[in-house]
A and B are shown apart, each in its own frame.
Chain A
Amino acid sequence: MSLQDNLNALRDEGLAKIKATDNLKSLNDIRVALLGKKGKITEVLHGMKNLPAEEKPKVGAFANTVRDTLTEALTSQREKLEELALDAKLNAESIDVTLPGTPVAEGEPHVIQQIIDQMCDLFMGMGYQVLSGPEVEEERYNFEMMNLPKDHPARDMQDTFYLSSEILMRTQTSPMQARTLETHDFSQGPLKMVSPGVVFRRDTDDPTHSHQFHQVEGLVIDKHITMADLKGTLLLMVHELFGEKFNVRLRPSYFPFTEPSVEADITCMNCAGKGCSVCKNSGWIEVLGAGMVHPNVLKMAGVDPDVYGGFAFGVGPDRFAMLKYGVDDIRDFYLNDVRFLTQFSKKG
């Protein structure tokens, strides 16, 4: 048998064995048996040294072809077996994708904070500064400069925690009107500010009353600010906080520090304005007080009411949150039950 025949036979036998192999181990054994240092092909190639010189290149080339063919077959069979092995492995690794995901521990901002932040962001976008004032206030700012002189009957409307005859827990964020009016430099442009914060009333806590709650004060003073601007501003705020489908209406009211004074109602969220028990069948819910800043307030802060004027409003984020989310007990905001706090986690 010639060397070539020998090679042909080894090739055919090898290819058949390779094809029949079903695992990587025996495939490797075949490779070693054929192409290893002591393999049969290697052995045949060693026999080439006995060939005549002129035959060597031809047989050599043929031997290389056979070796390449076998190598290729080995590689392709190995890839095929590896693929099968991987499939089997992955199949074995299957998991129940319906098991719960690993929880991410993330805290939430307080719902009142969320409303305050939302309002501050809205007003900053319209060029308002955000200012915070003292929680322990002078009577002068809390009352006197807000046009509530001593013995004014409206002081009875706001039962006050006093520390001394002149120092008190602020009953409203309105003193920030007086404080900013006093210091604002109108030559630098208009005064536009919102001031969120906590306020205190001498009240007994129950589902609708809390001795501590929040307010956001708003104030805009310039040379040409109108009540129509107030109306538009309140409407924008209500759209931002509650949604576009809510409307605003103004009703006459009374606050010593604004004239005209109004209360603003928004469409009842419970009945969408149709009338229900929540809104006493009016279709409207009272949400905030506002008005045009009283000339006395401007005067007392050293601002000329003949030149400057504007509007102010006071919003209760607690009440907003109660209305928006249907919270029926204001005390829940201050007791901080984790199950309560984590219900308001909508971002954006």
Chain B
Amino acid sequence: MKIPYKWLKEYLDLDVSAAELGEKIERTAVEVDSVASPSAGMKKVVVGEIVAMEPHPDSDHLNICQVNIGEAEPTQIVCGAPNAQVGKKVIAALSGARIADNIKIKKSKMRGVQSNGMLCALQEIGFPESVVPKEYVDGIYFLPDDAVPGASVFPYLGMDDDLIDIDVTPNRGDMLSVYGTTYELAAIYDQTPRLNHPDVPENTDQKAADLITANVDKDLAAIYKLRVVQNIEIKPSPMWMQIKLWDAGIRPINNVVDATNYIMLKYGQPLHAFDLDKFHGKQVNVRLAQPNETLTTLDGNDHETNPNDIVIASEDAPIMFAGVMGGLNTEIDDTTKNVVIEAAVFDPIRVRKTAQRQNLHTDASQRFERGVNHGGVQEALDAAAQLMHDQANGQVAQGTVTGSDQDVQPVLVDITIDRINKVLGTELSVAEVTSIFTRLGFGVEEHAGLYSVSIPSRRWDITIDADLIEEVARIYGYDNLPTTLPTGQMTLGVLSPAQRQIRATRTSLEAAGLNQAISYSLTTEKKAAQFALQPTALTKLAWPMSSDHAFLRTSLISGLLDDVAYNEARKVKNVALYEQGRVFYREDDQIRPTEEEHVAGVLTGTLNDSTWNDHEAKVDFYQMKGIVEHLLRDLAVVGPVEFEATADYPDMHPGRTAAIFVHGHRVGFVGQVHPRVEKQWKISETYTFEMNLQMLIDMQKSDDQYNPISKYPAITRDIAMLVDANVTNQQVLEVIKKRGGAHLTQVKLFDVYTGSKLPADKKSLAYTLTYQDKTKTLVDEDVTKAFEKVEKFLESELDAEIR
């Protein structure tokens, strides 16, 4: 809400700059979005009086105006406004002037005719079109007749003021009013505000209750009051009121509508005025909308009502969405004579829902949603009636028609000085705290440090002692609080074993050259279904923003492939990434998916870029597998780690993928992304792995234990063999290890050959076997014997041809 500084000064003695005031509000109450003067950056914009006017000879819409700008001779300005008129006081931007958007005005010739400036519409000096009075939207603005030619226009339009734009939090609805803000500033600056209160001159010859009655569902409107003003004269509001309205972003319309808006700004109580003569029947009904009821609102839009909307209705039709916007059928117009003013408190939740449903977020609905002062309804109603009496020559019918009402009493909240100091960490005295409550306008009773604080209804946000502590803290000043750290019983802060292993996982993969990625957990339906380690139902958002982020991921790989695609599209060819995070599995009958910690990696291009002394090596299956082995070693899982060729994963290359087993449990897979899927993502050859990290965390871990290094020399033997192409390294290793004897300590593959020198269905494998004994030097013959045994079994079990 934008509040003009001068309005506040009507009630308080404030001599600080507007910027300082804004800062104070921000530090003590609510956020301030901006403090700015509407005329900031503009100059040489003065009152001009059109003293003569003739049509431009070479134009069908331009006029040549002679404009009195307070100098001896009028100046000539060419103007295209359709409403330019001799005798009117207008806004003249002279040569050298700056107007809105930093536009500079210069002398010029318009179609050959000298023009020494520009006559301005309000939009041209910074007014948003939405606040410009309707009659001036398409033309220049007419200043009051008593405006002095040559004087700056800014004071006439309220533009010499500063506007403080406060951003009110949901709990401080009281500050959506000038009075509420005034009370707040009174507390901050320790002043007593000079607030005025209405005194309605009533026409005792006419009782309001004889003109209208109200039938109210109390659950919908806790307070509902009406007044009637008769025989009014519709005309524009006085300038001072128009200025306050457009400063707050509200378009001035006429003296009746403006009065209701002005009172809303002043008191925070939304009001509505409607034309009594257009209202069908004598009874105003406050009820829920009925089936098939429609309403055309004041903005001209048609709405279907919803059975949960509160409507104000005549005998036959709704005339308003209660607390939101009135209807066109009872609009105040130039012919209106008799007016009903409504002041009420509507159910805030229903108002909010109606505003959302009908997409009608108004100044009124915004206030009802956050609450209004239940104790201030009558005063606001009276103030509006008085304004219509004073400014529209209306006669206020006697009495208020009350459809529902409440007995509003101050709320009592108890608190002790000790509690306040204990929570804030302060040593405030009773006198200091009493002074703060008093400044806030609260009633205070104190006995031996025990307070009973009486909260006026205008601060409906305060109901418990914590609320009072906040009041003390912010008025005392957060800067004045001491700065300490918690003391008390010591606690231990260490990572849990699972957290340690997650960190170890990250460190291990980073050491292997992969960068950590954090991708989106929400993805497309298609991608969500890809690469899952186990069969799962997909989890869909009820109301996604877009189909790109509509399903929960069931694998990390799909996100990593998005990252690869993003990099490749931006000409980054080498991508090495890993991600550690949650995937979401679900059984069909489950609503809430199961979250599982996973880890995955991708490699494409090369891990080591080519350098001046080394060629780049394209990534391959074995590089990715090596990283997986490295990670599993770092995690110290107990039991054998095995890789088994698999074609189980439809999105993986069927000949280049291995399932990963740890201690017999399938924990994930590693391999090349299926070329079809690579095409889907528009990426080049990519290797990937994904493992269920939670499973790895939960597995038993080996404790490190020192293994003494043998003092006796090791003996090595190399073996080369020809085997069928489909015999795997794993099979060979199994035979060697099984038959190698007690002293075989290591088997290392050092060569694999397939090619032109061998038959197509054969391959050559070569291994180094290392023998060692911890207790003595091995004898050559023993090793030879063991080695020959291995050779024999390779021949018999794998049909190997030893070379």
Could you list which residues of chain A lie within 8 angstroms of chain B, going by C-beta atoms? 99-100, 102-103, 105-110, 112-113, 117, 120, 123-130, 132, 134-136, 138, 151, 153-154, 156-157, 161-164, 166-167, 169, 189-190, 192, 198, 200, 202-204, 211-212, 220, 222-229, 231-233, 235-236, 249-254, 259-263, 280, 282, 292, 294-295, 309-310, 333-339, 341-342
Among A126, A163, A334, the residue within 8 A (CB) of B542 is A163
Q: Which of B138-146, B323-331, B577-585, B737-745 contacts A (4 or more CB under 8 A)?
A: B577-585
B: number of interface residues (CB 8 Å): 98
B240 lies within 8 A of chain A by Cβ: no
Q: In the complex, what's the smallest C-beta–C-beta distance from A218 to chain B, in angstroms?
A: 11
Asked if residues B349 and A151 are in contact (CB atoms below 8 Å), the reply is: yes
Asked if residues A335 and B563 are in contact (CB atoms below 8 Å), the reply is: yes
Q: Given the interface contacts A259-B466, A259-B469, does A126 sit within 8 Å of B352 by beta carbon?
A: no
Q: Which residues of A contact B20 (CB under 8 A)?
A: none
Asked if residues A105 and B608 are in contact (CB atoms below 8 Å), the reply is: yes
**Bound: A112/B570 CA distance, A:** 22
**Bound: A34/B577 CA distance, A:** 72
Asked if residues B517 and A336 are in contact (CB atoms below 8 Å), the reply is: yes
Asked if residues A226 and B466 are in contact (CB atoms below 8 Å), the reply is: no
Among A136, A162, A338, the residue within 8 A (CB) of B572 is A338
Q: Mark B502-543, 1 if CB is under 8 A from A, else 0.
A: 010010011111111111111000000000000000011111
Asked if residues A336 and B611 are in contact (CB atoms below 8 Å), the reply is: no
Among B466, B493, B494, the residue within 8 A (CB) of A192 is B493
Q: Which residues of B contact A151 (CB under 8 A)?
A: 349, 352-353
Q: Which residues of B contact A130 (CB under 8 A)?
A: 493, 495-496, 499
Task: Closest B residue to A333 by CB, please name it.
Answer: B518
Q: Which of B419-427, B448-456, B750-758 contacts A (4 or more CB under 8 A)?
A: B419-427
Among A204, A259, A334, the residue within 8 A (CB) of B519 is A334
Among B170, B478, B506, B521, the residue within 8 A (CB) of A109 is B506
B316 lies within 8 A of chain A by Cβ: no
Q: Given the interface contacts A113-B518, A225-B486, does A211 sit within 8 Å of B423 by beta carbon?
A: no
Asked if residues B520 and A100 are in contact (CB atoms below 8 Å), the reply is: no
B491 lies within 8 A of chain A by Cβ: yes
Asked if residues B349 and A127 are in contact (CB atoms below 8 Å), the reply is: no
Among A129, A252, A260, A333, the residue within 8 A (CB) of B28 is A252
Asked if residues A135 and B582 are in contact (CB atoms below 8 Å), the reply is: yes
Asked if residues B591 and A259 are in contact (CB atoms below 8 Å), the reply is: no
Task: Closest A residue to B513 by CB, please name it.
Answer: A105
**Bound: A309/B484 CA distance, A:** 16
14 contacts between A and B (CB under 8 A): A106-B510, A107-B578, A110-B515, A112-B518, A128-B491, A129-B491, A151-B352, A161-B542, A163-B541, A192-B486, A212-B521, A252-B473, A260-B469, A338-B574
Q: In the complex, what's the smallest C-beta–C-beta distance from A339 to chain B, in angstroms?
A: 6
Q: In the complex, what's the smallest C-beta–C-beta distance from B356 to chain A, in angstroms?
A: 8
B155 lies within 8 A of chain A by Cβ: no
**Bound: A233/B613 CA distance, A:** 52
**Bound: A204/B370 CA distance, A:** 26
Q: Given the interface contacts A232-B484, A252-B29, A338-B577, does A110 sit within 8 Å of B516 by beta carbon?
A: yes
- Shortest Cβ-Cβ A-B pairs, 10 listed: A228-B425, A226-B425, A260-B470, A254-B169, A124-B493, A105-B513, A250-B478, A127-B491, A336-B563, A107-B510
Asked if residues B592 and A167 are in contact (CB atoms below 8 Å), the reply is: yes
Q: Given the interface contacts A107-B513, A198-B521, A202-B545, does A337 sit within 8 Å of B566 by beta carbon?
A: yes
Task: Closest B residue to A124 by CB, please name it.
Answer: B493
B363 lies within 8 A of chain A by Cβ: no
Asked if residues B467 and A259 are in contact (CB atoms below 8 Å), the reply is: yes
B205 lies within 8 A of chain A by Cβ: no
Asked if residues A220 and B517 are in contact (CB atoms below 8 Å), the reply is: no
Asked if residues A336 and B474 are in contact (CB atoms below 8 Å), the reply is: no
Among A138, A157, A229, max chain B CB count under 10 A is at: A229
Among A105, A292, A309, max chain B CB count under 10 A is at: A105
Among B464, B491, B577, max chain A CB count under 10 A is at: B491
Task: Closest A residue to B578 by CB, please name it.
Answer: A107
B709 lies within 8 A of chain A by Cβ: no
**Bound: A251/B29 CA distance, A:** 8
Q: In the complex, what's the smallest C-beta–C-beta distance from B251 to chain A, in angstroms?
A: 26
Q: In the complex, what's the smallest C-beta–C-beta distance from A169 to chain B, in angstroms?
A: 7
Could you list which residues of chain B lie within 8 angstroms of chain A, going by C-beta atoms? 23, 26-31, 34, 169-172, 348-349, 352-353, 369-370, 422-426, 464, 466-467, 469-470, 473-474, 478-479, 481-496, 499, 503, 506, 509-522, 539-545, 549, 552, 563, 566-567, 570, 572, 574-578, 581-582, 584, 591-593, 595, 607-609, 611-614
Q: Given the interface contacts A236-B485, A251-B478, does A202 sit within 8 Å of B543 by beta carbon?
A: yes
Asked if residues A222 and B488 are in contact (CB atoms below 8 Å), the reply is: yes
Q: Given the interface contacts A110-B517, A338-B572, does A102 sit within 8 Å of B613 by beta carbon?
A: yes
Asked if residues A226 and B595 are in contact (CB atoms below 8 Å), the reply is: no
Task: Closest B residue to A154 by CB, please name it.
Answer: B170
Task: Closest B residue to A339 by CB, please name it.
Answer: B572
Q: In the complex, what's the smallest C-beta–C-beta distance from A271 to chain B, in angstroms?
A: 16
Q: Given the interface contacts A223-B488, A334-B518, does A109 sit within 8 Å of B510 by beta carbon?
A: yes
Among B349, B521, B591, the residue within 8 A (CB) of A167 is B591
**Bound: A254/B466 CA distance, A:** 13
Task: Closest B residue to A310 by CB, please name it.
Answer: B486
Q: In the complex, what's the smallest C-beta–C-beta distance from A89 to chain B, in angstroms?
A: 22
Q: Given the interface contacts A113-B506, A309-B423, does A153 sit within 8 Å of B370 by beta carbon?
A: yes
Asked if residues B578 and A102 are in contact (CB atoms below 8 Å), the reply is: no
Q: In the complex, what's the smallest C-beta–C-beta distance from A175 to chain B, in angstroms?
A: 14
**Bound: A128/B587 CA distance, A:** 36
Q: In the complex, what's the smallest C-beta–C-beta distance from A201 to chain B, in angstroms?
A: 10
Asked if residues A107 and B595 are in contact (CB atoms below 8 Å), the reply is: no
Q: Which residues of B contact A292 (CB under 8 A)?
A: 423, 466, 469
Asked if residues A108 and B510 are in contact (CB atoms below 8 Å), the reply is: yes
Asked if residues A129 and B567 are in contact (CB atoms below 8 Å), the reply is: no
Q: In the complex, what's the smallest C-beta–C-beta distance from A95 to chain B, in angstroms?
A: 11
**Bound: A15/B353 CA distance, A:** 115
**Bound: A66/B490 CA distance, A:** 86
Q: Given the interface contacts A136-B595, A336-B577, does A341 sit within 8 Å of B517 by beta carbon?
A: yes
Asked if residues B426 and A228 are in contact (CB atoms below 8 Å), the reply is: yes
**Bound: A153/B576 CA distance, A:** 45
Asked if residues B521 and A135 are in contact (CB atoms below 8 Å), the reply is: yes
Asked if residues A224 and B515 are in contact (CB atoms below 8 Å), the reply is: no
Asked if residues B424 and A226 are in contact (CB atoms below 8 Å), the reply is: yes
Q: In the complex, what's the smallest C-beta–C-beta distance from A106 to chain B, in angstroms?
A: 6
Asked if residues B541 and A254 are in contact (CB atoms below 8 Å), the reply is: no
**Bound: A292/B353 CA distance, A:** 31
Q: Which residues of A contact B506 (CB under 8 A)?
A: 109, 113
Asked if residues B545 and A336 are in contact (CB atoms below 8 Å), the reply is: no
Task: Closest B residue to A201 by CB, please name it.
Answer: B545
**Bound: A224/B424 CA distance, A:** 10
Q: Which residues of A contact B464 (CB under 8 A)?
A: 259, 295
Q: In the complex, what's the smallest C-beta–C-beta distance from B212 to chain A, in angstroms?
A: 32
**Bound: A110/B511 CA distance, A:** 14
**Bound: A260/B29 CA distance, A:** 12
Asked if residues B517 and A136 are in contact (CB atoms below 8 Å), the reply is: no
Q: Given the interface contacts A127-B493, A129-B493, A202-B545, does A107 sit within 8 Å of B576 by beta carbon?
A: yes
Asked if residues A249 and B478 are in contact (CB atoms below 8 Å), the reply is: yes
Asked if residues A231 and B481 are in contact (CB atoms below 8 Å), the reply is: yes
**Bound: A160/B794 CA distance, A:** 64
Asked if residues B611 and A108 are in contact (CB atoms below 8 Å), the reply is: no
Among B28, B519, B521, B572, the residue within 8 A (CB) of A337 is B572
**Bound: A263/B169 CA distance, A:** 12
Q: Which residues of A contact B611 (CB under 8 A)?
A: 100, 102-103
Among A110, A169, A310, max chain B CB count under 10 A is at: A110
Q: In the complex, what's the smallest C-beta–C-beta distance from B165 to chain A, in angstroms?
A: 12
Q: In the complex, what's the smallest C-beta–C-beta distance from A328 to chain B, in angstroms?
A: 17
Q: Given the interface contacts A153-B352, A227-B424, A338-B577, does A254 sit within 8 Å of B493 by beta carbon?
A: no
Asked if residues A203 and B514 are in contact (CB atoms below 8 Å), the reply is: no
Q: Which residues of B contact A190 (CB under 8 A)?
A: 486, 488-489, 491
**Bound: A161/B608 CA distance, A:** 41
**Bound: A231/B517 CA distance, A:** 34
**Bound: A259/B463 CA distance, A:** 12
